[in-house]
Structure 1
Amino acid sequence: MRTGKEKVSRIPLAPVLLAFSLAAGNVFLAPAAYALSELHKIPGQANDAPAAPGSAQGQSQPQGGATPNVPMADPLVKSQNNQSVDKTPGAEENNFKPVEVIYDISKAPEPVRKMREQIVEAAASGDLERLRPLMGTGTDQTQVTVGEPTDDPIGTLKDLSGDPDGDEILAIMLDIVSTGFVHVGQGTADDMYVWPYFAEKDLKSLTPPERVELLRIVTAGDLSDMQEFGGYNFYRLGITPDGKWKFFTAGD
């Protein structure tokens, strides 16, 4: 009868040592695997142990508290660019400068407001002749054609109208001064309040509401032609800060 001691002595030594070493290895490897996946749950290690450069832990904590995998931007550069460059597409290449569109007529000087009101009243009357006293004479006469001045601005406007009485041109004039306007040439000889604001804006950058507003004045075909041309070329009206009606012309 063999004893237990004799049974043990007959077990080959090499396999025993190999099994022991594998078991010992599992004991020492287990904590390492646990540390990679559950490190944040082990007190004293998640915050105290420094992360190795390029490790998964180091990558999950970007500088500045930014969202992982999102590149950091330079807000100072972007802010400066936004202030110095017109955001509208194509504005720089077409030489359009940023403009402030004004809808509140009270922001214009009193002489400008008064002249606009007189133009509106005259145009709404349906009598083209009521515009004549507002147009001045000589060098101060309102310009109604591009190029050489005309001796009879009222007669010229009647000829430009699609009807014999000039009603169409009066309707266009009312539509023009009913839009927003811009103040251009401040501090220069060309200081002017101009209607509509489209005359100073890149038409390719118009918002949907602005396109609708422009289409109250021109047709969709006209708008397409203007965009291809590179700017607004329908009627525009200008009043100087001291209340002189400077022009009502069509063209660039």
Structure 2
Amino acid sequence: MPVMPRGARRAVILSLFLSSAVFASVLLAQPHATWALSELKGSTGETQQPPQASDEPDAEVPADDGSSTGEGLPLPDPLINQGTSESGVARPQADDSKPVEVIRDIEKAPEPVRRMRELIVEAAASGDIERLRPLMNPGPNQTQVTVGESAEDPIEFLKSLSGDDEGIEVLAILLDIISTGFVHVGQGTADEMYVWPYFAEESLTSLTPPEKVELLRIVTAGDFADMLEFGGYNFYRIGITPDGQWKFFVAGD
């Protein structure tokens, strides 16, 4: 057998060594590759997907409302202001310290008041709203039928409020109102008046059961609930001065 030169033998040995090293590295790398793949598989054998970025925004840190430290923006006012109505007008507050004297005997009113009331009753019961016109003191001091500016024609205005074209509904309301008990207010002042119904001057929270029945002959139970929330009676009321002038027939606060 021929002897290989020393240089040739060295080249062969080096080649075998490099081939062995490469083969060993492949064998060592194979288990690691298998382990890495198993890490990407779930228990069902399906390849897991890398975690996706969440579409939800990061949780925000609540702003300090200043309630604990006294710093920061002030809290907003409540949506419902118990002291005012929706229109911004101060709600009527009943004075429970001054009981209202309800008068049911019309004979206790002055003769001019009794006479005007009688004329109003007769006109309302007739079904002809025009019969109210001469009772309304036509002119600069005519009977007030609106809250605020005076109506140019009070009869036409009342017709516009009625559920029918002839104003019959308003006449019925007028008759119901003036058939209740009444109160005498403003004694000794320029605003002295006899006012129907007495609910206009009485605390609704102190009504007796019979008085509630009388009120519900004029308004509905829903209206009564709204009045309690509002703070007072706000349906139609009638005012007659001691000298017999029909001062107002208005609804509202």
CA deviations on 1:96-121 (whole Å, 9 max, x unpaired) are 73210000000000000000000000
Give 3-state SS (helix, strand or coil) of 2:173's partner.
helix
Amino acid across the alignment from 1:228? E
Amino acid across the alignment from 2:233? Y
Aligned to 2:239: 238
Aligned to 1:78: none
Overall identity of the aligned pairs, in %? 77
Q: Is the 8 A contact 1:199 1:231 kept in 2?
A: yes
Going from structure 1 to structure 2, the CA distance change for 1:133 and 1:92 (only over 3 Å counts) comes to closer
Aligned to 1:147: 148
Q: Distance in 1 between matches of 2:207 and 2:96?
A: 16
Aligned to 1:164: 165
Shift of 1:138: 2.3
Aligned residues: 162
Amino acid across the alignment from 2:163? G
Q: Max radius of gyration: which structure?
A: 2
Give 3-state SS (helix, strand or coil) of 2:140's partner.
helix
Aligned to 1:62: none
Q: Distance in 2 between matches of 1:193 and 1:92?
A: 20
Higher helix share: 1
Range 176-185 or range 91-100, more displaced: 91-100
Aligned to 1:34: none
Alpha-carbon RMSD across the aligned residues, in angstroms, is 1.5
Q: Is the 8 A contact 1:193 1:241 kept in 2?
A: yes
Going from structure 1 to structure 2, the CA distance change for 1:206 and 1:93 (only over 3 Å counts) comes to closer
Q: Distance in 1 between matches of 2:250 and 2:97?
A: 20
Q: Distance in 2 between matches of 1:134 and 1:210?
A: 30
Aligned to 1:128: 129
Amino acid across the alignment from 1:146? V
Aligned to 1:174: 175
Q: Distance in 2 between matches of 1:169 and 1:121?
A: 14
Q: Is the 8 A contact 1:162 1:168 kept in 2?
A: yes
1:1-252 mapped onto 2 (5 Å cutoff): 97-252=98-253
Going from structure 1 to structure 2, the CA distance change for 1:125 and 1:96 (only over 3 Å counts) comes to farther
Aligned to 1:26: none
Q: Is the 8 A contact 1:193 1:238 kept in 2?
A: yes
Going from structure 1 to structure 2, the CA distance change for 1:131 and 1:96 (only over 3 Å counts) comes to farther
CA deviations on 1:114-166 (whole Å, 9 max, x unpaired) are 00000000000000000000001223200000000011000000001111110
Amino acid across the alignment from 1:142? T
CA deviations on 1:164-189 (whole Å, 9 max, x unpaired) are 11000000000000000000000001
TM-score with structure 2 length normalisation?
0.62
Q: Is the 8 A contact 1:180 1:196 kept in 2?
A: yes
Q: Is the 8 A contact 1:191 1:240 kept in 2?
A: yes
Q: Distance in 2 between matches of 1:144 and 1:208?
A: 31
Going from structure 1 to structure 2, the CA distance change for 1:154 and 1:96 (only over 3 Å counts) comes to farther
Shift of 1:93: 6.7
Going from structure 1 to structure 2, the CA distance change for 1:228 and 1:107 (only over 3 Å counts) comes to same
TM-score with structure 1 length normalisation?
0.62
Spell out structure 1 runs of 4+ moving beyond 2 A: 91-97
Q: Distance in 1 between matches of 2:114 and 2:135?
A: 13
Please, which runs of 5 or more residues in structure 2 have no aligned partner? 1-91
Give 3-state SS (helix, strand or coil) of 2:195's partner.
strand
Please, which runs of 5 or more residues in structure 1 have no aligned partner? 1-90
